[in-house]
């Protein structure tokens, strides 16, 4: 295959891009870990066919994923997550009139606390029950909540995507005024995404027809069996007596997050060692997060007395490991290709993004949809953007754009919302693209990016 190396650089780049995209498309179609596994095919072609020097997988990101997922999965196995869900249900049932705003905010908050949007599965049947029993079109809070829960990912101090972005930015050679720790990312992403979530909630209050004016829904109610199915039995966790140890585990987990935030903001609280130049440098935030997340998991496991085997059997652990494998293969394959053509990319994509900064949002959203993962999108696109001299302040400002997999209704939480909505109001339209999630997704992400841009200006990142 030596003939491949004699082709012009632009021709090689096009062929390699087709190979990489082919692996990603097929991996996305297969789902799960296939995204990462298919990277092996791409690497064989790039390294042995085109003789490109192999790049490096995002090792620090992968190790951080491992630590965060273990901590969150241990929290779920201990029952600490059940406490959060019970508190959330009590808020919703006490304020049913405001479910379109409260449900998205609660979904967003749980994601920030736990580091994963998969906590929304426990909320969806409760949200449906509160909505349908109070005459609220279920599509309104359910679609808004699934979108908002994913928007919280980039705002979480223990999310893979957020930690990955900070690790990549701080390990790069670029200098960002005032940006020294992941707290500096959170003080932008938390208010920016919260604004987006509120806008989604307010807009959702008026979307679609009210149930009493929806002809299709009213027609369903004429069938007694269908009516019984739609209203069903009450879904609740309030009748579940949770032991005190569950509360203890929740507070241990939240305390670990708080401590990480404090030591991240105050460098002097972290141990320091002299670097090659003899300058004292504190422990980086990436290993700091890893250490405290493992510590939290260890304390929760010991205090709760759960078996270690139960940690590996829950949903958070499984979804986290899938993300880990996906990022491993994708980041290695992408780094191998992009490093080999950095000059070409700087002269084309780099010029476009510098001339049209808002184009970064479009590219990030498309990459996220393509990879179906915010963490994978960050690990793939942020290093490329930095290497082609995109303003790092812009990357921070538009951090919310790493969420774009709502464009097509293929993500598990979206599909779960459709399944839990027995009224049929949350659905996929005739043309697929006209589904219940695309408008709240676009509204939330674009408004968050706009708010992020303003905040980045205020903080001096831009």
Non-local CB neighbours of 318 within 8 Å, separated by 6+ positions: none
What does the pLDDT read at residue 92? 92
Burial class of residue 209 (count of CB atoms within 10 Å of its CB; 0-12, 13-18, 19+)? middle
Non-local CB neighbours of 416 within 8 Å, separated by 6+ positions: 120, 121, 124, 146
Which positions of the chain have pLDDT values less than 50? none
Q: Is residue 280 classed as helix, strand or coil in its secondary structure?
A: strand
Do 73 and 312 touch, CB atoms closer than 8 A?
A: yes
Least Cα distance to 121 among 371, 315, 251 occurs for 315
What does the pLDDT read at residue 287? 84
The enclosing H or E element of 274 equals strand 272-274
DSSP per-residue letters across 388-453:
TT--HHHHHHTGGGG--TTSSTTSHHHHHHHHH-TTS-S---TTSSS-SSHHHHHHHHHHHHHHHH
What does the pLDDT read at residue 347? 67
3-state class percentages of the chain: helix first, strand second, coil last, to nearest 5: 75, 0, 25
Whether pTM > 0.75 for this model: the answer is yes
Least Cα distance to 161 among 376, 439, 308 occurs for 376
Q: Is residue 75 classed as helix, strand or coil in its secondary structure?
A: helix
What phi, psi does 273 have (nearest 5°)? -140, 155
What does the pLDDT read at residue 32? 65
Left if phi > 0, otherwise alpha if psi is -120 to 50, otherwise beta: which for 381? Answer: alpha
Distance CA 142, CA 136 (A): 11
Distance CA 107, CA 118 (A): 10
Distance CA 405, CA 370 (A): 7
Q: Per the structure block, which two tokens stand in for 27?
A: 């991996």
pLDDT digits (tens, 9 = 90+) for 262-306: 887 787 888 999 888 788 888 877 788 889 989 999 999 999 999
First to last CA, the chain: 46
DSSP designation for 46: I
């Amino acid at each position: 295959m030596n003939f491949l190396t004699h082709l012009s650089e632009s021709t090689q780049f096009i062929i390699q891009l087709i190979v990489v995209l082919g692996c990603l498309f097929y991996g996305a179609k297969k789902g799960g870990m296939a995204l990462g596994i298919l990277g092996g095919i791409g690497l064989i072609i790039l390294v042995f066919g085109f003789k490109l020097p192999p790049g490096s997988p995002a090792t620090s990101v992968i190790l951080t994923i491992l630590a965060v997922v273990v901590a969150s999965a241990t929290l779920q196995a201990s029952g600490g997550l059940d406490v959060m869900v019970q508190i959330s249900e009590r808020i919703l049932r006490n304020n049913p009139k405001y479910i379109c705003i409260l449900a998205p905010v609660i979904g967003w908050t749980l994601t920030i606390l736990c580091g994963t949007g998969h906590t929304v599965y426990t909320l969806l049947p409760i949200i449906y029950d509160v909505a349908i029993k109070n005459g609220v079109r279920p599509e309104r809070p359910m679609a808004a909540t699934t979108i908002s829960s994913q928007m919280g990912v980039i705002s979480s101090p223990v999310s893979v995507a957020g930690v990955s972005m900070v690790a990549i930015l701080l390990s790069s050679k670029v200098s960002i005024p005032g940006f020294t720790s992941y707290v500096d990312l959170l003080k932008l992403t938390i208010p920016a995404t919260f604004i987006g979530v509120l806008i989604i909630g307010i807009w959702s209050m008026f979307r679609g027809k009210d149930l009493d004016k929806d002809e299709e829904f009213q027609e369903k109610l004429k069938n007694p069996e269908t009516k019984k199915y739609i209203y069903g039995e009450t879904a609740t966790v309030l009748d579940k007596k949770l032991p005190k140890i569950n509360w203890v585990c929740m507070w241990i987990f939240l305390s670990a997050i708080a401590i990480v935030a404090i030591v991240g903001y105050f460098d002097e609280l972290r141990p320091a060692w002299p670097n090659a130049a003899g300058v004292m440098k504190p422990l980086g935030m990436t290993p700091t997060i890893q250490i405290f997340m493992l510590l939290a998991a260890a304390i929760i496991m010991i205090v709760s007395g759960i078996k270690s085997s139960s940690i590996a059997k829950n949903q958070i652990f499984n979804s986290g490991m899938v993300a880990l494998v996906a990022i491993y293969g994708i980041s290695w394959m992408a780094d191998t290709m992009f490093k080999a053509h950095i000059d070409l990319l700087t002269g084309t994509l780099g010029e476009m993004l510098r001339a049209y900064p808002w184009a970064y949002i479009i590219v990030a959203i498309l990459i996220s949809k393509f990879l179906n993962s915010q963490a994978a999108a960050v690990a793939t696109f942020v290093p490329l953007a930095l290497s082609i001299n995109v303003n790092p302040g812009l990357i921070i400002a538009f951090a919310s754009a790493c969420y774009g997999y709502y464009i097509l209704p293929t993500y598990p939480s979206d599909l779960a919302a459709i399944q839990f909505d027995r009224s049929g109001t949350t659905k996929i339209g005739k043309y697929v693209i006209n589904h219940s999630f695309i408008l709240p997704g676009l509204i939330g992400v674009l408004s968050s990016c706009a708010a992020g841009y303003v905040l980045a200006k205020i903080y001096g990142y831009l």
